[in-house]
Amino acid sequence: METQKALSRPSTLGQHLAVVAAQQRGVGPEQLRWVGSDPAVFEAFYREHVEGLQGFIVRRVGERERAADLTAEIFLAAIESAEGYRPGDGTPRAWLYGIARQVIANDARRRGAERAREDRWRGSALLDSEDATRIDARIDAAARSRELYAAMDRLPEAERAVLELVALDELTVAEAAAAAGLRPVTARVRLHRARRKLRAELEAANQPPQRKEGRR
């Protein structure tokens, strides 16, 4: 039994080479299980995904400090879950965004309709001035797209989720399917429906109002 365990572990040299590869080319499925145990792998994984993940969060919560809290919570959940990752769970990015969706959903359920502000200091403590500037810029950009997001909010939740992952978070359809726990064909169908409905919503919103002609 011990012999089998030893054989399943990578050699020290093999793990070192894998870490170097992760730092140079990004963390792939073969290195992801070390995110929770190797600081160098975690740092490479964090640097690779933090920018995109913050954009993903800001589009859903719209508050800088809360976005910082959730970013930290999501990476902590990734550290705790990494050892159980399997290639069938999707690409590392899809796997991370699946965790993010669950963390954000849990947070929304906890908060309900109110925005709790007593824990804002925790998010602020994680930020330096450059972090704050970047997140503020994302919030401003999201605000300028209010009309688009309002139209997206009117879509059914199942269709909107796939559209956001593909159009806003730039995941492939296969990655979006893995993140949402769907089959790729189901994700494609929902994406097609969402785009069609969104296009119709925006076209209707941009139509000039019809003037009613009185009878003569």
The pair of structure tokens assigned to 66 is 């809360």
pLDDT value at position 124?
Answer: 47
Domains of the chain: 25-144 (no CATH), 146-206 (1.10.10.10)
Predicted local distance difference test score (pLDDT) of residue 112: 63
What amino acid occupies position 201? Answer: E
pLDDT digits (tens, 9 = 90+) for 42-62: 988 998 999 999 988 988 887
| φ/ψ bin of 97: left (φ > 0), alpha (ψ from -120 to 50), beta (otherwise) | alpha
Averaged pLDDT, 159-184: 87
Reply yes or no on whether the pLDDT at 206 is more than 90: no
What pTM was estimated for this model as a whole? Answer: 0.61
Round to whole Å and give the CA distance between 151 and 154.
Answer: 5
Percent of the chain's residues with pLDDT above 90 = 17
What integer is the mean pLDDT of 164-168? 84
**Mean pLDDT for the chain overall:** 75
Cα–Cα distance between 190 and 183 in angstroms, integer? 11
State the pLDDT at residue 202. Answer: 72
pLDDT digits (tens, 9 = 90+) for 75-123: 999 999 998 888 888 889 999 999 999 999 888 877 764 544 444 444 4
